[in-house]
Structure 1
Amino acid sequence: MTEAAIRTRRDGVILEVTLDRPKANAIDLATSREMGRVFQTFRDDPDLRVAILTGGGEKFFCPGWDLKAAAAGDAVDGDYGVGGFGGLQELRDLNKPVIAAVNGIACGGGLELALSADLILAADHARFALPEIRSGTVADAASVKLPKRIPYHIAMELLLTGRWFDAEEAQRWGLVNEIVAGDQLMDRAWELARHLAAGPPLVYAAIKEIVREAENAKFQDAMNRITKRQLATVDVLYESEDQQEGARAFAEKRDPVWKGY
């Protein structure tokens, strides 16, 4: 399917989403809304289990907001669509794994978009920055997320200076999981996606909900909600055929067959 600047490729339970807006894959309001529709469909389709997000070409993953569109009248505080900017940052109840395959420059909102994924692979030539400070604005999502992901003083340096850093530094601070040669990036992303697709989807859903709900909760409060089955995904998991299948497969010394119910 091809819709505007978004290309999708579906192979079994895996969905590849490519942001392809030459020359730099910048996101305007229409593109953001389309990305939201794509990821909403991914979230709600029971036959899809894993998504890969990447950029078209080899130079840019995404530089964030389309400043040319903004200059032409696209409001910065306009309607980004379901899921907020880029369709991922504020998409509620997305309980499936998302892999960002960063194929080039990821700066500003593009870096924030990558941070919305669960796993990040970076091409060896990828570069990153949060240059909003130089434009007299704030990297809002990064200001919320970054100090929780990496050491506080490093996060503040990146936010306050807007400096560029490479894939090796990003990995050193824990911002990316792996660095991959550029011509092997998508092969590795699909290899990882297939590995995840073979896993238990109900467990993935429970993990993602627990992580979200526990982010600002006290440990015991979070544990109480889990053990009392107050989280929907946990309640579904504990009543599922997959929960029993996992125990049976272990006892029978075989690989489990996950059904997602």
Structure 2
Amino acid sequence: MTTVTDELICARHGDVVVLTLNRPDARNALTGSLIRAIGDALVSAESDPGTRAIVLTASGDRAFCAGMDLRAFADGGDIGSGSDPATEAYYRLTRGETPIPVIAAVNGAAIGGGLELLLGCDLIVACTRARFGLPEAKRGLFPGGGGTNIGTRIPLSAALEMTMTGEFISAQRGFDLGLVNAVVDAEDLVATALDYARRVGACAPLSLAACKQLVRLAVTDPTKVAEQLPKWQSVVFTSQDAIEGATAFVEKREPQWKGR
């Protein structure tokens, strides 16, 4: 099933939900309504046990996302600063806290808030024309929406170079630095992201949630790992899925996960 709005396309491919930013004429820049549309789609996906992964991409061939829509902001438009569930779900995504795995398919430039959105994704596939940049310092600002966390994804020297010069890097440079998981031709972009989504989604949901949180914490706040690790051990190692995983291995069949 596919749902199309003025700003977001939501489509299902089996157990994978594909969200497509749909403002190509505005370089898919973020408005308050687009932020809430993304958040609504995330809330829906999180409440559906049949959704195993999310692919996030964008329309057009110029930009994945140019960050905040400055024209809308200058006109007094809403920039997504509310506390409603949809807006909160969007910002959980930017912090990497969406429990469902998220794979980005980057079709063009990811600038400012667009790159900050990508930093919340778990895996990033980019087409060869994609570029990445945090140009805020050139405008008298700084990447205040999570962009300063880029040093958790790439080496510190490169993170400082990107934030302090405001210059863009290519998709290949992003791959070399470890920001990007794969660089492919544009025509293979979504298919490659869907392949990642299906491979990730084939694993147990509780296991994925544990890996996602603990691996991120090991980089951002190692002291919390010691606190969270035994909690996840208690939940995951005593779960029905842990028994199912072992049983399926012994019986040489694909496991049937329940997420509990």
TM-score by length of 1: 0.88
- Report the 3-state secondary structure (helix = DSSP H, G, I; strand = E; otherwise coil) of the residue aligned with 1:52: strand
CA distance in 2, matches of 1:18, 1:251: 40
Aligned to 1:17: 19
**Does structure 1 residue 174 correspond to structure 2 residue 178?**
yes
**Does structure 1 residue 29 correspond to structure 2 residue 32?**
yes
1:76-101 CA-to-partner distances (Å, cap 9, x unmatched) read 6833822355x721475x22110000
1:154-182 CA-to-partner distances (Å, cap 9, x unmatched) read 11110011111111111111110000100
**Does structure 1 residue 4 correspond to structure 2 residue 6?**
yes
CA distance in 1, matches of 2:228, 2:210: 12
1:102-158 CA-to-partner distances (Å, cap 9, x unmatched) read 011111111111111000000011111111112211112444311222111211110
Aligned to 2:131: 127
CA distance in 2, matches of 1:164, 1:226: 37
Q: Is the 8 A contact 1:84 1:91 kept in 2?
A: no
- Report the 3-state secondary structure (helix = DSSP H, G, I; strand = E; otherwise coil) of the residue aligned with 2:215: helix
1:35 counterpart letter in structure 2: I
CA distance in 1, matches of 2:143, 2:33: 21
How many residue pairs are counted as aligned between the two chains? 253
* Ranges in structure 2 where 5+ consecutive residues have no aligned partner: none
Aligned to 1:67: 70
Change (3 A) 1:90 1:172: closer
Q: Percent identity?
A: 37
1:187-221 CA-to-partner distances (Å, cap 9, x unmatched) read 11112222222221121122123235543133xx6
- State the superposition RMSD in angstroms: 2.1
CA distance in 1, matches of 2:237, 2:155: 36
Q: Is the 8 A contact 2:96 2:122 kept in 1?
A: no
Aligned to 2:94: 89
Quote how far apart the aligned CAs of 1:3 are.
Answer: 3.0
Q: Is the 8 A contact 1:6 1:34 kept in 2?
A: yes
* Ranges in structure 1 where 5+ consecutive residues have no aligned partner: none
Aligned to 2:193: 189
Q: Is the 8 A contact 2:127 2:186 kept in 1?
A: yes
TM-score by length of 2: 0.89
